[in-house]
Chain A
Amino acid sequence: MATENTRGLARLMLAPSVALLLIWMIVPLAMTLWFSFQNYNLLNPANVSWTGLFNYKYFYTDPAFFQSIWNTLLIVGGVLVITVVGGIAIALLLDQPMWGQGIVRIMIISPFFVMPPVAALVWKNMIMHPGYGVLADINRALGFQPVDWFAQYPLFSIIIIVAWQWLPFATLILLTALQSLDGEQKEAAEMDGAGFVSRFVYLTLPHLARAITVVILIQTIFLLGVYAEILVTTNGGPGYASTNLAFLIYRTALLGYDVGGASAGGIIAVILANVVAIFLMRAVGKNLDR
């Protein structure tokens, strides 16, 4: 039982980070909220005026708006599917005894250490480029026409790049969870004559539920804001095919220099993110409680 004393101390210890985050959250949020009601173009600072809700209306009537929300969800969903399924598969593989496990593990976690702009540049120029990329070279060697990835499958290409960056993270967490699975239980199941599939479905998967939830939660937070990879590769196009919400805000803020519009977009993004978060907590959050 915690005494009054320790409880007070606990509050004291909690205070600095709560206060810091409160300031960090409130001050920019308040400024953003304020700017979102202003007609404020950075290139025309003399002409700042109050516009009420106009920026919001303007942002959500943007021809790209609904597609950008859809694309945001597609990116989050696509990357989550690839990293969770791929992560489980790789974790199962790495859990087997093998030669050179250390090196294999090092290679698999490496993409996590690569900064997003570098990852995007490498994939764009050296892997997916229709003229000089490795994939194009492979296609030509097999006698096919090279695929122009960013023109034909822009969103899919971006999902691949982002998934590549996050796959190691998912793999690591899932692998750690997998290794904590009781060896005796596994053996017992094997003795019972349970096949690989039923062992996986009835023993491994339930054991991994918590780890999967954690992967989904953390990645979602980062994936909602993906924009660097889009900026480097497709610039949101062709058309609006790879524009997500974060990139739409980027375009408004740093191509249009429309501070008011970008602020309104930011507020909309925060609301959307919270909706997603609540939905997620409802859907998988109970896995976190024991």
Chain B
Amino acid sequence: MARAVSTRRMAVATIAAWIVALIIFFPILYTIITSLKSEPEAIQGFNLIPSFTLESYVTVQTQRDYFKPFMNSVVLSVGSTLLALLVAVPAAWSMAFSPTNRTKDILMWMLSTKMMPAVAVLVPIYLIFRDTGLLDTRLGLTIMLTLINLPIVVWMLYTYFREIPGEILEAARMDGATLWGEIVYVLAPMAVPGIASTMLLNIILAWNEAFWTIRLTTTNAAPLTAFIASFSSPQGLFWAKLSAASTLAIAPILIMGWFSQKQLVRGLTFGAVK
């Protein structure tokens, strides 16, 4: 009896979940499908079965090389993430384990730095970048992306570290562990999942940042967001081509996300669990 109910319940849940998932996934799916259509096919009306032509991908690649912006996206998102972690891990660590009265205030203040609308500071930043020679350099953009995402990184790490029980530290100290040993042998293993998912989230945010990555680059440092900007709204409707370019721009991060979703989820709680 109980068995039968649960099978039926499972079937209902399965169907409902698949419907919801397909609706949510549909825009992406349809983009991929459209990218495999020919241009006239793409605007002919609803059609889920494309002619599987790779024509649009070929056109996109001949029109603009994919590899360089792709490499830039990788370098920028990974680079800025590592840099952000380098600065944020010690900060979050000290906030979590030696909190003072000010800790909360500092945290809120860090988050509030994200509230300045980017476009309002474009001219000041452009002038600074021009004077320091950072325009269109990977270094400049890496720094930029690091700074933009630093508050979120610090916060996420802080909330994760705070879940690590302090007693373990005490115990280790009793055993005569040095501070260094404390970090390497006791805390690091517990902190790794949180750091890993922070890293993943930050890579996603940096990959998808589409204001500064277009405004501060020309050729050398331009990532995939600029690649997309060279295909959006051309003269005429080229939806198959636009879909192919979109697919190319989101595919790497989508695949990374799919493979690492378990890792991502584990630390993506911002202290919300418990």
Contact = CB atoms under 8 A, between A and B. Distances in A.
B64 interface: no
A214 B270 contact: yes
A115 B13 contact: no
A151 to B, nearest CB: 18
A164 B24 CA distance: 7
Given A125-B239, A126-B34, A32 B13 contact: no
Interface string B64-89: 00000000000000000000000110
A253 B119 contact: yes
B88 A17 contact: yes
Contacts of A246: 117, 119
A141 B47 CA distance: 13
B217 interface: no
Q: Is the interface of B mostly helix, strand, loop or mixed?
A: helix
Contact of B119 (A111, A117, A262): A262
B40 to A, nearest CB: 12
B115 A18 contact: no
Nearest to A228: B210
Nearest to A26: B113
B125 interface: yes
Nearest to A93: B17
B52 interface: no
A12 B98 CA distance: 12
A16 B83 CA distance: 12
A123 B125 CA distance: 32
Contact of A277 (B108, B121, B224): B108
Contacts of A14: 90-91, 94-95, 106
Contacts of B43: 132
A147 B234 CA distance: 25
Nearest to A118: B246
A156 B111 CA distance: 28
A284 interface: no
Q: Which of under 10, 10 to 19, 20 to 34, or 35 or more describes the interface residues of B? A: 35 or more
Interface string B5-43: 010011001101110111011111011001000000001
Contacts of A122: 27-28, 30-31, 243, 246
A94 B229 CA distance: 36
B242 A269 contact: no
B120 A262 contact: yes
A127 interface: yes
B190 interface: no
B17 A125 contact: no
B191 interface: no
Interface of B: 6, 9-10, 13-14, 16-18, 20-22, 24-28, 30-31, 34, 43, 45-46, 87-88, 90-91, 93-95, 97-98, 106, 108, 110-125, 127-128, 147, 150-152, 154, 179, 204, 207-208, 210-211, 224-225, 228-229, 232, 237, 239, 242-243, 246, 249-250, 253-254, 256-258, 261, 264-266, 268-274
Which 4 A/B pairs are nearest by Cβ-Cβ distance? A266-B120, A13-B90, A10-B94, A273-B115
Interface of A: 2, 6-7, 9-14, 16-18, 20-21, 24-25, 27-29, 31-32, 35, 42, 90, 93-94, 96-101, 103-119, 121-123, 125-127, 132, 134, 137-138, 141, 164, 167-168, 172-173, 175-177, 180, 210-211, 213-215, 217-218, 221, 224-225, 227-228, 232, 245-246, 249-250, 253-254, 259, 262-263, 265-267, 269-270, 273-274, 277, 281, 288, 290
18 contacts: A7-B98, A10-B93, A10-B97, A28-B116, A96-B9, A97-B6, A103-B21, A104-B17, A106-B261, A108-B20, A110-B25, A117-B225, A119-B27, A127-B27, A137-B45, A225-B118, A262-B120, A263-B123
Given A114-B208, A132-B239, 11 more contacts: A10-B95, A21-B150, A32-B124, A93-B16, A99-B14, A113-B208, A119-B27, A125-B239, A177-B269, A221-B115, A263-B120
